[in-house]
Amino acid sequence: MKRYLVLENGDVFEGEAFGAPGPCDVLSEIVFTTAMTGYLETLTDKSYKGQTVVQTFPLIGNYGVIPEDREGEVPSVSAYIVREACEEPSNFRCQLTLDEYLKSHGIPGLKGIDTRALTRVLRTRGVMNGLITDSYPSGTAAALAAIASYKITDPVSSVTVSSVEEHDPDENRLTVAMIDCGVKENIVRSLNKRGCKVYLFPASSSAADILEVKPDGIFISNGPGDPEDNKVTIATLQELDKTGIPTMGICLGHQLLALAHGFRTTKLKYGHRGANHPVKDLETGRVYISSQNHGYAVVAESIDAGIASELFVNVNDGTNEGIRYKNKPVFSVQFHPEACGGPKDTDFLFDEFINMMNEGRD
């Protein structure tokens, strides 16, 4: 069965349907990831809410679907685009094919298109909206205008927990209050295995709500959308900042901390998504390979040198990848140190957060 991608600039890519059957008419933002593996982690990453993901690696699904490796209970992507979807995966942990998994969750897929050509368009023109449809597109000006007008609206509220959740470690030594903006499950696991009891709070929680659990540390998770839209969470962080409690943020959490301190964010031309992004530690000079998924970044020039300093920068384009705040136990990173389905080079940052909390107890 034929299926089409229509970009807002009028480009049309014709391929074959897989995953959820038609009729299909999915409007979303079209983004690409350069990761070669970890496709289940990508599909279930809540930071992709409202987006269709294009895999630049040509063969996806070769080890099937392993539910234990997911980052969320269900897929968060709007649709999925690949060059070739493997129909006969080979892995002793495999439980489903990629096609079966997408069908089971009602996620439409598009395969058989030239994903390299599509990626070149997105790199040249920047991230665009697109329509995935089973009907041959007419390409009228009105239809293209409707595609261009699409906007991801308030995605954090649709992926955050609805009420406080507790995640207990085998041995409870520290308490972390996490503002859940769309957390990846391995972030919680990374803290649990280090002896942290994690309370997940809805993103709309007040500072008073969060402080009721008497946390040793505050954590702000990753999540989807424009960071500037999260005004309630930003205001909460400004209140929590007055407490002096050790704080760490990842991805969207990094951006929200920056906004709470008066810095600025901007939308990148096509974002950083993949498991092969080099970042440089400005304190040591060492370069790490990181896993990333973000379309916005903190504007480095907006960082007030009296308040904070850059901690990491992206080696490819020089954008900000981390901030350390002065005279307070607070830092954040743009990339993913938990990196399930990606490099583990920077998971020591969780240990740094643990050390900050232990020092705060002394």
Measure the N-to-C terminal CA separation of the chain; round to a whole number of Å: 65
Strands of the sheet with 320-325, listed across from one edge: 165-167, 196-202, 174-180, 217-220, 247-250, 330-333, 320-325, 308-314, 265-281, 287-298
Query: Which member of 24, 181, 251, 340 is catalytic?
Result: 251
Contacts of residue 328, defined as CB under 8 A and 6 or more positions apart, other chains included, come to: 241, 244
Tell me if residue 277 is catalytic. no
Separation in Å, CA 219 to CA 26, 29, 182: 34, 28, 12
Active site (annotated) includes residue 336: yes
From 261, 272, 294, 336, active-site residue: 336
Structural tokens at position 155 = 């995605």
Biggest CA–CA distance in the chain, Å, is 67
Q: How far apart are CA 17 and CA 20, in angstroms?
A: 8
Tokens of 137: 């597109």
User: 8, 294, 338, 340: which is the annotated catalytic residue?
Assistant: 338
Pair type for strands 108-111 and 79-82: parallel
Helix or strand (DSSP H, E) at 85? strand 84-85
Catalytic residue ranges: 251, 336, 338
